Structure 1
Amino acid sequence: MATPIIDIRNLSVGFTGRAGLTLPVLRNVDLTVHRGESIGIVGESGSGKSTLALASMGFLKQGLRVIGGRVRFNGEDIFARSRQELESIRGGQLGLIPQNSGQSLTPTMRIGAQMAEALELHCSLPKSGFRARIIELLGQVRLPDPEVIYNRYPHELSGGQQQRVAIAMALAGEPDALLLDEPTTGLDVTTQAHILELLRDLARERNMAMVYVSHDLGVIARVCEKVMVMYAGEAVLQGPTAAVLRDPAHPYARALLASIPRLCDSHLPIALDGRPPPPGGAGDGCAFAPRCALAREACRAARPDLLEAGQGSQARCFFHEEAHALAAGGTGADPLHHRPDGTPALALDGVSISYAAPGFLDRLFGRGDDVPTVDGITLKITSGETLGLVGESGSGKSTILKAVAGLLPPAGGRIGVGEDTGLPATVEQRRPEQLRRIQMIFQNPDDSLNPRHTVAEILAQPLRLYDRLSGQALFDRSVEILETVRLGAHYLDRLPGQLSGGEKQRVAIARAFAAEPELVLCDEITSALDVSVQAAMLELLNDFKKLKDTTYVFVSHDLAVVRALSDRVAVLYQGRLCEIGPTEKVYGSPSHPYTSVLLNAVLEPDPDKAPALMAEDVVELSPPAQGCPFQRRCKRRLGAICDTEAPPWRDAGEGHVIRCHIPLDDLDTGAAEQS
Structure 2
Amino acid sequence: MAGPPPLIDIRKLCVGFRGRAGAMLPVLHEVDLTVCRGESVGIVGESGSGKSTLALAAMGYLKHGLQKISGDVIYDGAEMFARRPAELAQIRGGQLGLIPQNSGQALTPTMRIGTQIREALHLHCDLPDGQHATRARDLLAQVRLPDPEAILRRYPHELSGGQQQRVAIAMALAGEPDALLLDEPTTGLDVTTQAHILDLLRDLAQSRNMAMVYVSHDLGVIARVCDRVQVLYAGETVLEGPTRAVLRDPAHPYARGLLASIPRLGEKTLPRALDGRPPGPGEPREGCTFAPRCALATEDCRAATPPMIAGGADQMSRCLYPDMVNEITGDQAGTQPHGCPEDSPCALDLAGLSIRYDRPGMFERLRGAPRPPATVDGIDLHLRQGETIGLVGESGSGKSTILKAIAGLLPPASGQITLGDGTALPLTVESRRPDQLRRIQMIFQNPDDSLNPRQSVAEILAQPLRLYFGLTDSALRARAVELLDTVRLGAPYLDRRPGQLSGGEKQRVAVARAFAAGPEIVLCDEITSALDVSVQAAVLDLLNELKAAHKTAFVFVSHDLTVVRALSDRVAVLYQGRICEFGPAAAVYGSPSHPYTSVLLNAVLTPDPDHAPRLMADDVAELAPPAHGCPFQRRCPVKCGTICDTDTPPAQQAGDGHVIRCHIPLDELCARQTGEAPKS
Letter in 1 for 2:82: A
Are residues 432 and 420 of structure 1, via their aligned partners in 2, closer, same or farther at CA, if it must alter by over 3 Å? Answer: farther
Are residues 516 and 64 of structure 1, via their aligned partners in 2, closer, same or farther at CA, if it must alter by over 3 Å? Answer: closer
Q: Distance in 2 between matches of 1:577 and 1:167?
A: 29
Q: Distance in 2 between matches of 1:137 and 1:522?
A: 32
| Structure 1 segments unaligned to the other structure (5+ residues) | none
Q: Distance in 1 between matches of 2:132 and 2:457?
A: 51
- Helix, strand or coil for the counterpart of 2:251? coil
CA displacement at 1:401 relative to structure 2: 1.6
Letter in 1 for 2:326: H
- Helix, strand or coil for the counterpart of 2:327? coil
Q: Distance in 2 between matches of 1:87 and 1:478?
A: 42
Match of 2:87 in 1: 85
Match of 1:295 in 2: 297
Contact 1:519 1:552 in 2 (8 A): yes
Match of 1:594 in 2: 596
My pick for the range that moved more, 422-431 or 43-52, is 422-431
2:55 aligned with 1:53, yes or no?
A: yes
Contact 2:162 2:188 in 1 (8 A): no
Match of 1:352 in 2: 354
Counterpart among 267, 270, 292 of residue 268 in structure 1: 270
CA displacement at 1:273 relative to structure 2: 1.8
Match of 1:378 in 2: 380
Q: Distance in 1 between matches of 2:433 and 2:359?
A: 27
Letter in 1 for 2:274: L
CA RMSD of aligned residues (A): 2.9
Q: Deviations over 1:522-542 (max 9, x none)?
A: 221111111111111111111
Q: Deviations over 1:109-151 (max 9, x none)?
A: 3444433433443344444554455455555555555555555
Q: Distance in 2 between matches of 1:515 and 1:64?
A: 34
Are residues 329 and 248 of structure 1, via their aligned partners in 2, closer, same or farther at CA, if it must alter by over 3 Å? Answer: farther
Q: Distance in 1 between matches of 2:365 and 2:149?
A: 35
CA displacement at 1:459 relative to structure 2: 4.6
Contact 2:507 2:530 in 1 (8 A): no
CA displacement at 1:451 relative to structure 2: 4.3
Q: Deviations over 1:191-220 (max 9, x none)?
A: 111111111111121111111111111111
Q: Deviations over 1:170-229 (max 9, x none)?
A: 333332211111111111111111111111111121111111111111111111011101
Match of 1:658 in 2: 660
Name the count of aligned residue pairs.
675
CA displacement at 1:475 relative to structure 2: 6.1
Aligned 1:441-520 pairs, distance under 5 A:
441-453=443-455, 457-467=459-469, 496=498, 501-502=503-504, 504-520=506-522
- Helix, strand or coil for the counterpart of 1:375? strand
Match of 2:239 in 1: 237
CA displacement at 1:272 relative to structure 2: 1.4
My pick for the range that moved more, 319-328 or 502-511, is 502-511
CA displacement at 1:454 relative to structure 2: 5.1
Are residues 529 and 417 of structure 1, via their aligned partners in 2, closer, same or farther at CA, if it must alter by over 3 Å? Answer: same
Contact 1:260 1:330 in 2 (8 A): no
Q: Distance in 2 between matches of 1:572 and 1:15?
A: 46
Letter in 2 for 1:623: P
CA displacement at 1:433 relative to structure 2: 3.4
Q: Deviations over 1:327-352 (max 9, x none)?
A: 29972111111122142221111111
My pick for the range that moved more, 313-322 or 438-447, is 438-447
Are residues 298 and 190 of structure 1, via their aligned partners in 2, closer, same or farther at CA, if it must alter by over 3 Å? Answer: same
Letter in 2 for 1:580: F
TM-score (norm 1): 0.92
Q: Distance in 1 between matches of 2:473 and 2:26?
A: 41
Contact 1:255 1:328 in 2 (8 A): no
Are residues 356 and 62 of structure 1, via their aligned partners in 2, closer, same or farther at CA, if it must alter by over 3 Å? Answer: same
- Helix, strand or coil for the counterpart of 2:333? coil
Counterpart among 191, 194, 214 of residue 192 in structure 1: 194
- Helix, strand or coil for the counterpart of 1:371? coil
Aligned 1:118-133 pairs, distance under 5 A:
118-133=120-135
Q: Distance in 1 between matches of 2:216 and 2:461?
A: 32
CA displacement at 1:153 relative to structure 2: 4.3
CA displacement at 1:413 relative to structure 2: 1.7
Letter in 1 for 2:339: H
Q: Distance in 2 between matches of 1:20 and 1:220?
A: 38
Aligned 1:173-572 pairs, distance under 5 A:
173-281=175-283, 283-327=285-329, 331-357=333-359, 369-453=371-455, 457-467=459-469, 496=498, 501-502=503-504, 504-572=506-574
Q: Deviations over 1:35-54 (max 9, x none)?
A: 11111111111111111112
My pick for the range that moved more, 401-410 or 202-211, is 401-410
CA displacement at 1:637 relative to structure 2: 0.6
CA displacement at 1:632 relative to structure 2: 0.8
Q: Distance in 1 between matches of 2:287 and 2:46?
A: 20
Contact 1:107 1:153 in 2 (8 A): yes
Q: Distance in 1 between matches of 2:161 and 2:463?
A: 34
Percent of matched pairs sharing the same residue: 70
Are residues 375 and 72 of structure 1, via their aligned partners in 2, closer, same or farther at CA, if it must alter by over 3 Å? Answer: same
CA displacement at 1:580 relative to structure 2: 0.9
Are residues 325 and 476 of structure 1, via their aligned partners in 2, closer, same or farther at CA, if it must alter by over 3 Å? Answer: closer
Q: Distance in 2 between matches of 1:552 and 1:589?
A: 25
Match of 1:584 in 2: 586
CA displacement at 1:103 relative to structure 2: 3.2
Match of 1:63 in 2: 65
My pick for the range that moved more, 423-432 or 458-467, is 458-467
- Helix, strand or coil for the counterpart of 1:326? helix
CA displacement at 1:573 relative to structure 2: 0.9
Letter in 1 for 2:277: R
Q: Distance in 2 between matches of 1:464 and 1:134?
A: 49
Q: Deviations over 1:263-294 (max 9, x none)?
A: 12111011112221122435241111111111
Letter in 2 for 1:21: A
